[in-house]
Amino acid sequence: MSHDSPPVRRLADWDHDRLGRLAAEHATPLYVVDLDRVAANYERFASAFPDAHVMYAAKAHTGRAVLSKLLETGADIECAAWGELQRAIDAGADPDTLQYTAVNPPDRDLDYATDLAEEHPGLTVTGGARDTFDRLEARGYDGRVAIRINPGIGTGHHEKVATGKDAKFGVPYDEVPELAEELNERFDLVGIHAHAGSGVLHDDLDDHCRAISKVADMGRTVEDRVGGLEFVDFGGGFGVPYREDEEPLDMRVVGEKVRDAVGELEAQIKLEPGRYVVADAELILTEVNTIKETPAATVVGVDASLATLIRPAMFDSYHPIRNLTAPERAAEPVSVGGPCCTSADVFCTDRPIARPEREDLLAIGNAGAYGYELANQFHSQPRPAEVAIEGGETRVVRERETLEDVTRLER
């Protein structure tokens, strides 16, 4: 791992001149991802858990450049939908190494997974409902399965990501031992899985470790019932600091806390970081087009919107914003919003930023996790281009959509 890789990258740490050149060449809004940072984040996480099998949770960012870089770095991939399975394979993943976590899977997802497993029996399918296993069996599947359990403890930055206590996710905790015995007769039961939540930082770490401990207890119970498991998968959830005054996790300390929470376990520990790997490796460049002084606020209009980055509207998420054109200007409280006709299209309200002027270039940070993944075409806005930085070079890894792309499937 690179020794010059800090535990968090702030907006001030990016090369502002390079970002300005990229915006001039490729226009805005523009996603910029640093693939070397992606690799460094993964390596830092993996080094904190030397005895664990660390898989990247693809749903955080399924761009081919990101997946390929992580595969090159040594990561395996965990997928939550059939499209992610296919994209991982397209990026170079060996299908026998993939893990598919099915959440209320549509028929096409299960059809794809069972067809894939016929040629690649190393594929592992994780189910969170008895119904899912019945549907797998009805398709003639008798291969590798894991049970997703609901530990009843949810953690993370927002209630919408506290999956560990959401009935949508996982088999109820008390039902797991009996189901494990049953599935051990019907399939090759290789593990159990849980995911307590997402965006876990210092304040949530104790609760997260309580959930891990509870899952480990169930792992030991299931091992006693069925005679051993290959793995117990504790999911991901480890966060990064989005706010400038938040401190990053010390992964060495986190590794010790997790090992203490797990205790003695014969099965291999699996972990699935997603956000931790990609969040601070990507930002959005956006240009100021409007400055409006009102009695209530100074409104700064930009060409990015909730179609570019929906997390502030969806999760009330904080993303750092920096004026790259003139960071030395005096900071003034401003509200930054995009061109969508909804009050939800706001990136910040009354936040001190080096006073923007029209045509200034702003950067919106920590956009790598669930940024482009949730980008959309609201207001018929084509999705932005994505440029990758790697080894000092830059290249376009995702073309900017056109209006023709937005409408080409219409009839």
Cα 30 to Cα 375: distance, rounded to the nearest angstrom: 12
C-beta of residue 338 within 8 angstroms of C-beta of residue 306: yes
243 belongs to an annotated ligand binding site: no
DSSP string for 282-312: EEEEEEEEEEEE-SS-EEEEES--TTT--HH
Cα 274 to Cα 193: distance, rounded to the nearest angstrom: 16
408 belongs to an annotated ligand binding site: no
C-alpha R_g of the chain: 22
Phi and psi torsions of 282, nearest 5°:
-145, 145
Cα angle 353, 358, 362 (rounded to 5 degrees) comes to 45
Rounded to 10 deg, the angle between the 35-48 and 64-73 helix axes is 40
In 3D space, the residue among 196, 200, 192, 215 whose CA is nearest the CA of residue 254 turns out to be 200
C-beta of residue 240 within 8 angstroms of C-beta of residue 366: yes
Cα 32 to Cα 165: distance, rounded to the nearest angstrom: 35
In 3D space, the residue among 61, 33, 48 whose CA is nearest the CA of residue 371 turns out to be 61
**DSSP code at position 53:** E
Q: Tell me whether strands 298-302 and 331-337 are parallel, antiparallel or unpaired.
A: parallel
327 belongs to an annotated ligand binding site: no
Alpha-carbon 378 to chain mean position: 22
In 3D space, the residue among 15, 63, 56 whose CA is nearest the CA of residue 35 turns out to be 63
**Bridge partners of 335?**
299
By annotation, the residues acting in catalysis are 341
C-beta of residue 47 within 8 angstroms of C-beta of residue 1: yes
295 belongs to an annotated ligand binding site: no
Amino acid at 152: G
370 belongs to an annotated ligand binding site: yes
C-beta of residue 126 within 8 angstroms of C-beta of residue 81: no
122 belongs to an annotated ligand binding site: no
C-alpha distance from residue 327 to each of 12, 245, 350 (Å): 9, 18, 17
Cα angle 202, 66, 276 (rounded to 5 degrees) comes to 5
237 belongs to an annotated ligand binding site: yes
Binding residues for substrate: 275, 311, 370
Binding residues for pyridoxal 5'-phosphate: 237, 272-275, 370
Binding residues: 237, 272-275, 311, 370
